[in-house]
A and B are shown apart, each in its own frame.
Chain A
Amino acid sequence: MLEIRDLTIAYGKHIALDRATLNVAQGTMVAILGANGAGKSSLLGAIGGRVQPTAGEIVYRGQSLLGRPAHLLVEQGIALVPEGRGIFPGLSVLDNLRLGAIAKRAATGANAQMEEVFALFPKLAQRRSQLAGTMSGGEQQMVAIGRALMSKPDLLLLDEPSLGLAPIVVKEVFAALSRIRETGLTILIVEQNARATLELADFAYLMEVGRISGAGPASQIKSDPAVVRAFLGGTLAKTR
């Protein structure tokens, strides 16, 4: 569904992403794992049309995405939940969700889609008239994801949905993601929380300082001792 080939992103002399190649098959959940500064956000920025790659290709359903502005991606079925939640604090939950349906492809059946979002996040249904800015971090993340779902995406891009959330809230967010995953939506998730992400994902790429250092089915990655040490908090992390 989404193919990325030899994608390179450089800010001046600094190379943020070095010839990354990855593949997202329809109906799967693919994770990109890595620490701060590994180049994960640059990669999502390039797919989302905010960052101009220096070289390489991004192909979605046979069409190149390079040079396409963000608002057109929505019409093609790509929804992005940016890092830091990306909600509109001054608007109610309901208005935040309605906003997600502003795209042409979502214009028909917005109400039905809203019901689906409420079914995925019952909490949002209870608090539909609350101002989004007054909600807890985890609830705001749900609003952001719900908003993205309102555009009826075929591909959902998530940029660090667990960032800055308390562990118990992270659990809640991932439980919601697992429900979304069951609907068959294709998901590309960028995360630092490797353990929780690997529980859900089908396939994972590991990133270190701007390059992809490993890839494999999530079940396999989970049990790889090198990965456990580097990404899942092994002995090294414990002594810190």
Chain B
Amino acid sequence: MSRIILPLIGLALLAIVPLIVTDYGLGLLIGAATYVTLASAWALFSGQTHYISLATVAFYGTGAYTVAVLNETLGYGAVLLCAALIGGTIALVVGLATLRLRGVYFVIFSFGLAELVRQLITWYEVNVTGTLGRYIFLDITTRQIYWQMLGLAAITIALTAWIHRSRLGMALRVIGDDETVAAHSGINLARVKLLAFVLSAVILTLAGAITSPRYVYVEPSIVFNPTISFLTVIMALLGGANRLWGPTLGAVPLFLIFEWLSSNFPDSYPILLGLLFIGVVFLVPNGLIASTERLLGKAKGARG
């Protein structure tokens, strides 16, 4: 029972925090909640299957841009629904064509996808609509954005927990281990991978849509910034991408470190970021949770 109650208490506490923190503190909370959502949604597909996707920002940016284009013509709820549908459709089409790629080919493709979407939107805005940037004026308070993002993060983690116990989760894990055996066990590889990819993409798109009013001014180079994709991957890897709480555990401290670095060392920030990436991959390749468990196991073994 405590596995359900403790997270719920935590969620309730997090929900009342914005009533007491400063605006800067609230901004940090939104950023942390956003990256928890992104990293958890990324891990929903990539954590089990080991298909490393760098397309996070393709969906995140699509979500933000959907809001930018539609916010004056549709109600907010309808805009979110449109964003989810568009993100899901892109994932479906792209997934059908590319989920047979493996390893480094998939990584490169997913990176290319993000660039493709960004260039297409830029081309369309310049040549068809004639404006590159767009403004988002919505009647939404910062607190409301935070609550929405917190809700999305909670839904993502709950969904992941449910998938881990379901046949779908079993199938995803097995695909990550050995696709040949998975297929010969009767698992429809294409369908399982596609389902997880689309689910993950819908959440990533919604995260972009919800956070977009914070930008106020949106243009492709801002919301399709590839750094977002890299940050998401490294956060999920730091905590442990195949664990339920791994992405959260990686996202919160890394987000805070990045914030501190970028405000204190704005010039050398990219260098420090690169060093951090290398450090994570070298020092905790299996994620913090697995490393801690191993250390604890060793300590136990030494004592016993």
Asked if B298 CB lies within 8 Å of chain A CBs, one says no
Q: Sorted from nearest, which 8 A-B pairs have the closest CB atoms?
A: A103-B186, A70-B183, A74-B186, A86-B181, A80-B184, A88-B177, A71-B188, A71-B183
CA–CA, A175 to B64, complex, Å? 63
Asked if A151 CB lies within 8 Å of chain B CBs, one says yes
Query: Among B171, B173, B184, B186, which residue has its beta carbon within 8 angstroms of that of A104?
Result: B186
Type the 1/0 row for A144-168, where 1 means its CB is closer than 8 Å to any CB of B. 1001100100000000000000000
Given contacts A71-B188, A74-B186, A151-B185, contact A82 B174 (CB under 8 A): no
- Chain A's closest residue to B189 (CB) is A71
* From B173, B177, B181, B187, residue with most partner A Cβ within 10 Å: B181
Q: Are A48 and B184 in contact (CB under 8 A)?
A: yes
Q: Within B163-185, which residues are at the interface with A (CB < 8 Å)?
A: 167, 170-171, 173-174, 177-178, 180-181, 183-185
Give chain B residues whose Cβ lies under 8 Å from the Cβ of A82. 178, 180-181, 184
Query: Among B178, B180, B186, B189, which residue has its beta carbon within 8 angstroms of that of A102?
Result: B186
Q: Are B177 and A147 in contact (CB under 8 A)?
A: no
Type the 1/0 row for A88-127, where 1 means its CB is closer than 8 Å to any CB of B. 1111000100011011101000000000000000000000
CA–CA, A49 to B186, complex, Å? 12
B interface residue count range (under 10 / 10 to 19 / 20 to 34 / 35 or more): 10 to 19
- Chain A's closest residue to B242 (CB) is A90
Give chain A residues whose Cβ lies under 8 Å from the Cβ of B177. 88-90
- Chain A's closest residue to B183 (CB) is A70
Asked if A179 CB lies within 8 Å of chain B CBs, one says no
Q: How far is the CB of A150 from chain B (nearest CB, A)?
A: 8
Give chain B residues whose Cβ lies under 8 Å from the Cβ of A184. none
CA–CA, A95 to B180, complex, Å? 17
Asked if A195 CB lies within 8 Å of chain B CBs, one says no
Q: Are B170 and A99 in contact (CB under 8 A)?
A: yes
Type the 1/0 row for B99-118, where 1 means its CB is closer than 8 Å to any CB of A. 00000000000000000000
CA–CA, A102 to B191, complex, Å? 15
Q: Are B171 and A102 in contact (CB under 8 A)?
A: yes
Type the 1/0 row for A43-73, where 1 means its CB is closer than 8 Å to any CB of B. 0000011100000000000000000011101
Q: How far is the CB of A229 from chain B (nearest CB, A)?
A: 35
Asked if A142 CB lies within 8 Å of chain B CBs, one says no
Q: How far is the CB of A142 from chain B (nearest CB, A)?
A: 15
CA–CA, A49 to B183, complex, Å? 10
- Chain B's closest residue to A106 (CB) is B186
